[in-house]
Amino acid sequence: MSVSLLRDVVKPVLTGFKITAKRLGKKKVTISYPDELREQYPRTRWRHYLTRYDSGLERCIGCSLCAGACPARCIYVEAAENTDTERYSPGERYAVRYEINMLRCIFCGYCQDACPTGAIVLRKDFELANYKREQFLFTKEMLLEDYPGQNLEPYKSKMTGAEAPIYRG
């Protein structure tokens, strides 16, 4: 069987280029991640935050229901009594220590469901990778937001500051 220029070289090459030409007109599917973020679904569950009331008081009352609901047992809560001079939350008690082991957490959101005051919420910060184990023990100071509704805005990338669009159906 002899090699035919038309059949064995030109035709296969043209067939290949036909596919290339067909794909050229289509929109590219790749998201160039650090420069642009993909859209985030409304119920995306990533990093936890402890929220505040509009008055600035903490929502968390230190009831440990989140720790009880956690399947990975990664939450530790220690409660203390509020006093009139030192008031952190509207109830009788507040969480003096609130720690989450982010490495053990599976981001199931059961703590969010169990919370009676809506204190612990899972927001959209997914860039959590780090170098050492100790850096993943999130204390109350790291989890508590500075002002009410701090992290309700669309998520911005730590690397480039690109904003993640919100998925709208």
Partner 1 sequence: MPKRIETVVLHDSSTPVLGDIQKGGSVVLTTVDTLLSQARAHALWPLTFGLACCAIEMMCTVASRFDLARFGSEAFRATPRQADVMIIAGRLSKKMAPVLRQIYDQMPEPKWVISMGACASSGGVYNNYAIVQGADQVVPVDVYVPGCPPSPDALIYGVMKLQEKIKKTRAKSFSELRIAESLNPRQMEEVRS
Q: Give 32 or 150: the residue with its C-beta nearer to partner 1.
A: 32
CB 120 to partner 1: min, Å: 17
Under DSSP, the state recorded for 29 is -
Q: Give 24 or 129: the residue with its C-beta nearer to partner 1.
A: 129
Residues β-bridged to residue 156:
163
Q: Give 61 or 121: the residue with its C-beta nearer to partner 1.
A: 121
Phi-psi region of 96 (alpha: psi -120 to 50; beta: other; left: phi over 0): alpha
CB 160 to partner 1: min, Å: 10
Q: Give 4 or 135: the residue with its C-beta nearer to partner 1.
A: 135
Q: Give 150 or 160: the residue with its C-beta nearer to partner 1.
A: 160
52 neighbors 89 (Cβ within 8 angstroms):
no
CB 148 to partner 1: min, Å: 26
Q: Report the alpha-carbon distance of residue 88 to residue 95 in Å, rounded.
A: 9
Q: Report the alpha-carbon distance of residue 77 to residue 100 in Å, rounded.
A: 9
Phi, psi of 3 (to 5 degrees): -85, 125
Q: Residue 161 is inside which H or E element, if any?
A: none
57 neighbors 87 (Cβ within 8 angstroms):
yes
CB 82 to partner 1: min, Å: 33
- The site for partner 1 (CB under 8 A) is made up of 29-34, 37-38, 46, 71-73, 101-108, 126-133, 136, 158-159
CB 131 to partner 1: min, Å: 5
Retrieve residue 23's tokens. 């794909």
